[in-house]
Amino acid sequence: MRGSATGTPDAEALELTPDERAVLAGERGEVLRRAMASVVRYGETFDARRLVAIEGAPHLVTSFGTGTMKPFFAMLDELIAAGARSERPFTVNPRPVDRASVRYGLADRVALRLLYGEQKRYERQLAALGLRDGDAFTCTCYLPEIGNTPARDAVLAWSESSAVVFANSALGARTNRNAAGIDLLCNVLGEAPEFGLLTDGGRRATWLVDVRTQALPEAQLLGSAVGQRVVDGVPYITGLDRWLGPAGDDATVAYLKDMGAAAASNGAVGLFHVEGVTPEARDAGRELLADGASRYVTDDGELERVLRAYPVVWARPDAAPELCFIGCPHLTSGQLAGWTERALDALLDAGRPRLAVETYLCAAPQVQAAFRSGHGATHAAAVRAGLRFTSLCPLMFMSNPLARRRAVVTTSAKLRTYTTARYFRDADVLPVLVSGTVEAAPS
């Protein structure tokens, strides 16, 4: 079936300016007409009433040049040929391959070349469309070391679900959960349809989540539980301010980042408020709760139930772990230092010189550089102990069909969701890495 010229939802609801109508009529060329038609139909589907100007630099999810994405590459070629470009330089998700830091076998190299054979072409396209620089590849673009940190209330058109939920929740910026493709089209046009999380009404909390755990819960598990329960709702979370400080300190940033990533991938959460912690909750408190908001009480037993429900999908469930990825989303500088110190302490306690499992700590290039310069001796000791540092996307690594056959462990609920990697809590994974057996994890 061929597409119709206009979308089915109410085309009259979205009012366009004369300039926008001219673009939609093709007066600026066929490519921009299709870009505008896509964005307008997107807005109509969600009852947007107008397009609004984008006020911050973009972040895009698509960092991988996979050969199957032919229509996407063709669209980018058409945009480039038409002279389209993002008004502001953008950041993009991590690269799928890191040959400088990751050990690949011959079979892996062949498989990755087949899977990501269009990577160089794709990165040339990104450069032509406004990529900030060659180090702009991370899912944590908002960290201070990278600097794509949007201002409070700034209208954005971001993708990457973990970055979207962080920008909305911890920074108070405004972006919908935009899909790959639509994100770039909005930023080329400089406008996004106004609906959902761009509006005051769409940012009201539809769920009250009451956390009654005995200690600060594992961020990944709490996020997973919240995502599964509220699905696409906006949770207002109480009880965490017993342990979390203001949204700006490294530990809180790391917590909100990991909780949000799990909620966004295990559900469709694009915004959460944490009482006493996130900016809108600090300003408005429970006035953010919408009338008739649902309620979800969670405790240690509930989070244990969520953990036990994760399926183990290793080819051989009793296999010895071969690989570990920590840092999906990428780690903060505080997390990088913390993991390194804890791993070295665990080895010291066990009387072992090196980890038994090949372990990668994933972080943005700038965060790694800051860690090396600030903690040179620790970094060197970590490398000697078998820890490796990379800026790749572990999800993209695991998309290699050969990787699916390997026994991979992770502390990321998001990586677990999309791959065969097996999840362990932060405290549980270190005994596994030191001993080389999953039985070493506390039950």
Partner 1 sequence: MSATFHGRPVLAGELSGEALVTRHPFNTLASFIKCLTTGARKAVCSDQDNPDLYGKVLTGAVLCLPQTIGSTAAGLILETAVHKGVAPAAMLFSESVDTLAASGAILADVWVGRRIVLVDRLGPEFLDAVQDGRRVGVRADGTVTVA
Local structure of residue 129 (DSSP, 8 states):
H
Q: Please select the residue that binds partner 1; options are 238, 333, 399, 412, rule is CB under 8 A.
A: 399
- Nearer to partner 1 by Cβ, of 132 and 177: the residue is 177
3-class state of residue 325 by DSSP: strand
95 near partner 1, judged by CB under 8 A = no
> Is residue 370 within the footprint of partner 1 (CB under 8 A)?
no
**Runs of H (alpha helix) within 232-325:** 250-266, 279-284, 300-309
389 DSSP β-pair partners: 361
Number of C-beta neighbours around residue 121 at 10 A: 14
Q: Which residue has the tokens 């899909």?
A: 179
Q: How far is the CB of 309 from partner 1 (least distance, A)?
A: 9
CB atoms within 10 A of CB 206: 17
267 binds partner 1 (CB under 8 A): yes
- Name the residue among 416, 163, 398, 408 with its Cα closest to residue 306: 416
196 binds partner 1 (CB under 8 A): yes
Place of tokens 């899912």: 139
Q: Is 187 in the site for partner 1 (CB under 8 A)?
A: no
1 scored as a contact of partner 1 (CB under 8 A): yes
Establish if 180 lies at the interface with partner 1 (CB under 8 A): yes
Position among 11, 25, 53, 70 found at the interface with partner 1 (CB under 8 A) = 70
Nearest-angstrom CA–CA distance, 71 and 345: 50
Establish how many alpha carbons lie within 13 A of residue 315's alpha carbon, considering only the half-sphere containing its beta carbon: 10
User: In this chain, which of 16, 22, 52, 69 binds partner 1, going by CB under 8 A?
Assistant: 69
**Residue position matching structure tokens 């709702």:** 233
DSSP-based three-state secondary structure for 416: helix
Binding of partner 1 at residue 29 (CB under 8 A)?
no
Q: Which backbone phi and psi does 96 adopt, to 5 degrees?
A: -80, -15
Stretch that binds partner 1, among 60-68, 282-290, 294-302, 317-325 (CB under 8 A): 60-68
# binding residues, partner 1 (CB under 8 A): 56
Q: How far is the CB of 52 from partner 1 (least distance, A)?
A: 16
One residue of 125, 168, 178, 333 binding partner 1 per CB under 8 A = 178
Structure tokens at 246: 């203001």
Nearer to partner 1, 23 or 37 (CB): 37
**Which residues sit at the interface with partner 1, rule CB under 8 A?**
1-4, 7-9, 34, 37-38, 41-42, 45-46, 61-62, 66, 68-72, 74-75, 115, 159-162, 164, 176-183, 196, 227, 231-232, 264-268, 311, 313, 399-401, 404, 414, 417-418
